[in-house]
Amino acid sequence: MRLVMLAIFAALNLFVAPVTAEAQAQKIFRVGYLGGGSPSPEQSISIGFVRGLRDQGYVEGQNLAIDYRWTRGTNEGFPALAAELVTLKVDVIVAHATPAVLAAKAATTTIPIVLLNVADPVGAGLVTSLARPDGNVTGVSNQGADFTGKLLELSKEIVPRLARVVTITPIPGPATHARVKELETAASTLMCGHRPGVSWPMDRVSRISGIVRVCSRASC
């Protein structure tokens, strides 16, 4: 999260039109947050996001306003919400996951976009390279897919009788597909059965109940 905050800090200071020290002290920076979950204030990523900005000197109600936009577990709403943030003239857009970043990039070529939780930003066409992103997109990529197979391997060592794995995922996207593919490869190597592609809405209550229902049907 610290790297993400630094990216936002850089976007606000480098890409936003320069202002005098006095004007900057009075300016309220607007950050648009585009996410696929729900607007629950308990979402840990939102809490960490606000805390990280505060650590960089941006405090809600003083010099910062955050416009949250959520799709509540679907990808279809991203384009309209991204366009809405552009209309609001936010200073920077923070987009969580590949579909959100794609929508934000399609909506603007001038407002800085900070990406979060994107498995392959180069392959998705979001940046030219990790070293030199170019354009108006920067941020921190997610390399979690590289460790998925290892997690299953460790699970097998802890539970030698492990014979079946059920994948519980959020809304579909490149990051999810990459992790599922890695898990399928590891499951085949370890001779574990694997049931992929089970998803649920990204709010806490539905998440827990969805896991219970899926595991009951799969005899986990």
User: Is pLDDT larger for residue 75 or for residue 141?
Assistant: 75
Cα dihedral 45, 51, 56, 58, rounded to 10, equals 100
Give the whole-angstrom CA distance, residue 167 versus residue 206. 16
Burial per residue of 76-92, b for 16 or more beta-carbon CB atoms within 10 angstroms, e otherwise: ebbbebbebbbeeebbb
Closest CA to 106 of 136, 134, 74: 136
Closest CA to 143 of 169, 172, 175: 175
Q: What are phi and psi of 187, to 5 degrees?
A: -65, -40
Q: What pLDDT digit, counting tens, does each position of 77-131 carry?
A: 999 999 999 999 999 999 988 899 999 999 999 999 999 878 778 887 888 887 7
Q: What pLDDT digit, counting tens, does each position of 3-36 carry?
A: 555 556 555 554 454 444 555 557 889 999 998 8
Give, as one character, the DSSP assignment of residue 35: E
pTM flag (> 0.85): no
pLDDT of residue 133 exceeding 90, the answer is no
Give, as one character, the DSSP assignment of residue 88: T
pLDDT at 92: 94
**What domains appear along the chain, each with residue ranges and CATH number?**
2-141 (3.40.50.2300), 145-218 (3.40.50.2300)
Give, as one character, the DSSP assignment of residue 219: T
Which tokens sit at 37? 């979950």
- Amino acid making up residue 51: R
